[in-house]
Amino acid sequence: MLPGELQATIQEAEQVAGCAIEVVPDATANEFDNLTLRVDDGVCSATIAYRGESISRCALLHEVLHVKRYWLNAVPILRPAARLRYEPEAQMVNDLIEHLIIIPEERRFVEAESNAHWSSVMANLAELPRVSFPSSQAEVDALQRSLVLQRAMMDIALPDLDNTRLYDRLRDENLFESSAAFIDRLRNMLDDKERALIFVSREFRYDVTAFCVGRFNVRANPKSFERSPLVQ
């Protein structure tokens, strides 16, 4: 299913980590993006789960690109500093940065499938509710983050998709200009993921001290997942 370049990536990842990357059916898996990477007592494991009859080429390729970055490139992963708090927020910011980098790569291999997948994801996101008045500041913040995140995905990673509805909505919410400035700055720091994570966390008005970064050290002995504070 995979192009030779990514078959080589899998071979290298499996060799370095000392385990096979399992691809398994799972009726409870999400529609897309089910990757579990672990290091337990120095032993690595990687599972890509999928729902339905078989995994799509686009989904498999997407996960291999994550594995390449997390294991072979040891890119930082945003995590909550304390368990059980800010997990969804950390994952949202981390996934955003990962996907801004991975999707253009993915499109290099399976452009039509990738565009089809992400256009349906973005269409679902575009159904965001209007915030009714009076509403809590937390609801307003969540909506604004979601709209700005969608624009980052569209402008940076998915330039072929139709952005008309999203742009109209950003104008309605008076976010068009500010989100353009945010994206210009973000676009120029994507090669430094930790910097991008801090920038987005701050722009989204999260408490940066609630987060840390983890990195897989699969080439080390023993293999580990090391956490460290975000570099301020």
**Residues of this chain that bind Zn ion (CB under 5 A):** 33
In the complex, least distance from residue 32 CB atom to Zn ion, rounded to whole angstroms: 8
Q: What is the rounded CA–CA span in Å between residue 17 and residue 225?
A: 12
∠ at Cα 153 (74, 138), nearest 5°? Answer: 95
Nearer CB in complex with Zn ion: 33/203: 33
Nearer CB in complex with Zn ion: 33/194: 33
Nearer CB in complex with Zn ion: 97/148: 97
Q: Which helix (H) or strand (E) holds 37?
A: strand 35-40
Residue nearest to Zn ion according to CB distances in the complex? 33
Count the Cβ atoms, other than its own, within 10 Å of residue 148: 22
Count the Cβ atoms, other than its own, within 10 Å of residue 100: 23
Nearer CB in complex with Zn ion: 2/208: 2
In the complex, least distance from residue 101 CB atom to Zn ion, rounded to whole angstroms: 10
In the complex, least distance from residue 169 CB atom to Zn ion, rounded to whole angstroms: 24
Amino acid at position 83, single letter: R
At residue 25, φ and ψ (nearest 5 deg) are: -70, 145
In the complex, least distance from residue 24 CB atom to Zn ion, rounded to whole angstroms: 17
In the complex, least distance from residue 33 CB atom to Zn ion, rounded to whole angstroms: 4
The separation between the first and the last C-alpha atoms of the chain, rounded to the nearest angstrom, is 42
Nearer CB in complex with Zn ion: 58/183: 58
